[in-house]
Amino acid sequence: MQTTMRVSAVLAFAGLAPFAGCANSSGAAGADAAVDVGADAGATLDAALDAAGNALPPDGAVDAGVASMPPTLVIGASSGTVTDAFALTASGTAGTPYGAISFSSDVGTIDVGNGPAAAFVYATVAMGGYTLYDGFAVSPTSWDAFYLYCNNSNLADVYDERVSGHGMVYAAVTGGGCSATAAQTAAHVALPGFSISAPAPVGGSTVSGSAIDIANGSGTVVVGSTRMPLVVFDTVDCSACGGDGWYELHSIIWDAAQHRAIFVIIYLINGTATSVELAYARSLPDLGDPLGTRTLPATWTVTSARSLSLLPHGVPPPLR
């Protein structure tokens, strides 16, 4: 079941282009339909977990024996099908330090600084005159999360952040083109195995709840019935993004039992002091979504996060 997505009214920043983010008022979704747990956005934690067939164990039952984040993430090659609710063809050349971008049927390559890297897109959203596509790019020594911004038939911009590397970087695209259809597409994804250092924790926030706990950029979160280690590798201050405003903790979860790494964005939403939201999850090497969109009871604080003023279009908004 596709996740219902919330679109927030967002302010323009200092005369820059209007904000575009990962929300879709039509419900045309970012999550892979084949692996979406089917929990409705805004559901309680228990309802979300029940929808996935994973009831949360009693408090404290998952605390013992938590695996640690290894110093090096060694991830096997990915090969499989990701079912998207769209089909994207896109091309262009991003500005320095990036390069050529080429996608067909949701898979392709993108040069994010080290030459062409195998890539795929798994999420889309229309907002503010742009359509945004979220994806991963992988080389044997890097893993990047990237965001393509299409304006009608023009691929206008790209954002990129490197797991175990730099934070969000923006580049304009020249000679860019976009063509997309809203049709279910089986994207045949093939990514190389890779080895990277575990990301360095980025502090500035705390989250405290029975199923999620973060301090100084490190912590744990319950996935299914297992508590797993988590590292925040990038943060974004979107507290002035219209509506409620929010902060983002871009994070990696380590699933030791299945030897996979899970990317997820954790949202701390102003006016929502007793819960946080997890969204846009995707794991490697299995290409799945083990989280869906999930609201977890927790209190939180933020003392610092990366300013949105550095990002002309904005960042992915919460999905509640």
Residue keyed to tokens 């730099």: 166
Give the global pTM.
Answer: 0.78
Q: Domain 77-195, what fold?
A: Lipocalin (2.40.128)
Question: pLDDT, tens digit, for every residue of 23-34?
Answer: 332 333 333 333
Helix, strand, coil share of the chain (percent; to 5): 5, 50, 45
CA-wise closest residue to 263 among 31, 40, 24: 31
Tokens standing for residue 275: 């819960």
Question: pLDDT, tens digit, for every residue of 243-258?
Answer: 778 899 999 999 999 9
Q: How is the chain split into domains, by residue range?
A: 45-73+197-310, 77-195
Q: Please report the pLDDT score of residue 89 as a whole number.
A: 97
Q: Residue 65 CB: number of other CB atoms within 10 A?
A: 7
C-alpha 296/C-alpha 274 separation (Å) is 9
Type and span of the H or E element at 45: helix 45-51
Q: 284 pLDDT band (50/70/90 cuts)?
A: very high
What's the average model confidence in pLDDT over 175-185?
Answer: 93
What's the average model confidence in pLDDT over 190-214?
Answer: 96
Contact indicator for 90, 216 with CB cutoff of 8 Å: no
Weakest-pLDDT range from 69-78, 202-211, 235-244 = 235-244
